[in-house]
Amino acid sequence: MKTIQTIEEYLDGSLNSKKSNAFREKMSANKQLKDEVELHRSVNEAIKDDALYEFRQNVKKVITKNSKRANKQILFIKTYIKYPVAAGIVVILGLSIWKLTTRITPSEVFNEFYKPYQTDISTRSVNQSANSVQLSYILYQEKDYEASSEILKNYLSQNYNDITAHFYYGMNALELKNYKLATTELLLVANDRSTPFKIHAQWYLAMTYLKMNKRNDAENILEKLTESDNIYTNAAKKVIRKL
């Protein structure tokens, strides 16, 4: 990496006279280094010949300022590319660097794809004899997340094995921006093979991870969702492409 940087500085004329002379002496004693310098010189000339020199300079500025990863990538490729395709590769690299430096954040993906879970319970089906947990589901549907959450918290303290209640408790936590609690509750449901809420919990767990900027954790769950035919398969594929 340091050698490549020195070559560029030598060719750009940015080395002082002492360092420049020392580098020339090093080239005289090292044929491989001399050949590498000539390759870089050819690439630079190819770029100039195609009126892309200014673009190349802008690309270098973007790399230096915004992306060490992109810097490693372009330097690696420049070392091994052939002269005839130099200009085309620079254009491709420019597009890759633009994508890298404008990459959408997981939180932004969350904002684009997240929608609250729609319950199957109708307020018309709930009467005075409805129990508290059913009422909590209705409160969730009506976006009274704090009241719903409080009911479920008390209910789960006595009925911990109710997976459906855990799901809604996690969904309330997500809406209330308590992402740690949401993760705990939704992970519990997602790992339960017997519940019909398993797929829903996986999707919303992935959404929670996105909101927490845990890209890898979200991608792992989304990949699982794409492996079967379910209501989130297509959406999961779209989210993965965004990431």
- The CATH class, in words, for 107-242 is mainly alpha
pTM exceeds 0.95 for this model: no
pLDDT above 70 as % of the chain: 70
Give the mean model confidence (pLDDT) for residues 216-222: 95
Report pLDDT digits (tens) over 143-189: 999 999 999 999 999 999 999 999 999 999 999 999 999 999 999 99
Report pLDDT digits (tens) over 84-110: 445 555 555 555 555 555 567 998 999
Contact 106, 213 (CB under 8 A): yes
Of 46 and 187, the structure prediction assigns the larger pLDDT to 187
How many angstroms separate the CA atoms of 186 and 242, rounded?
A: 23
The per-residue pLDDT for 233 is 93
**Burial class for 158, CB neighbours closer than 10 Å (0-12, 13-18, 19+):** exposed
Domain locations in the chain as residue ranges:
2-101, 107-242
Report pLDDT digits (tens) over 7-32: 878 887 778 888 888 988 988 999 88
Quick one: tokens of 174?
């997500």
Give the mean model confidence (pLDDT) for residues 189-205: 95
The per-residue pLDDT for 133 is 85
